[in-house]
Amino acid sequence: MLILEILVFVAAMALVALLLLQQVVTQVKEYRFYRSRGWDFSIDSGLDRIDERIAPYRLPISNWQRLYLFRPAYILMLIWFMGMAFAFAF
């Protein structure tokens, strides 16, 4: 039973780590997209399709809010979650 619990914990942490990596890569891509276009947020990067998979509904946020507020907060939340999971597991 202990081995099963360890396997489930490792699998869950691996999935959260992959989600974190995917969000960081998306943040970097979106940052480069807007930087190369002179910070014109009226142009949609098209990277919000990833955010729509996370939320059950379309988030009513603008492009600059997604770049500066939503995704950094989401990345920090994932890091905090992983830290707390490891802290309480061991």
**Residue 41 belongs to some domain of the structure:** no
| Predicted pLDDT of residue 47 | 80
Number of domains within the chain: 1
∠ CA 56-46-62 to the nearest 5 degrees? 70
**Average confidence score pLDDT of the chain:** 89
Alpha-carbon span 9 to 86, nearest angstrom? 9
pLDDT per residue as tens digits for the range 19-43: 999 999 999 999 999 999 999 999 8
**Structural domain harbouring 77:** 61-90
Q: Is residue 74 part of a domain?
A: yes
Residue 68: Cβ within 10 Å count: 13
Higher confidence at residue 76 or residue 62? 76
pLDDT band (50, 70, 90) for residue 53: low
pLDDT band for 89, please (50, 70, 90 cuts): confident
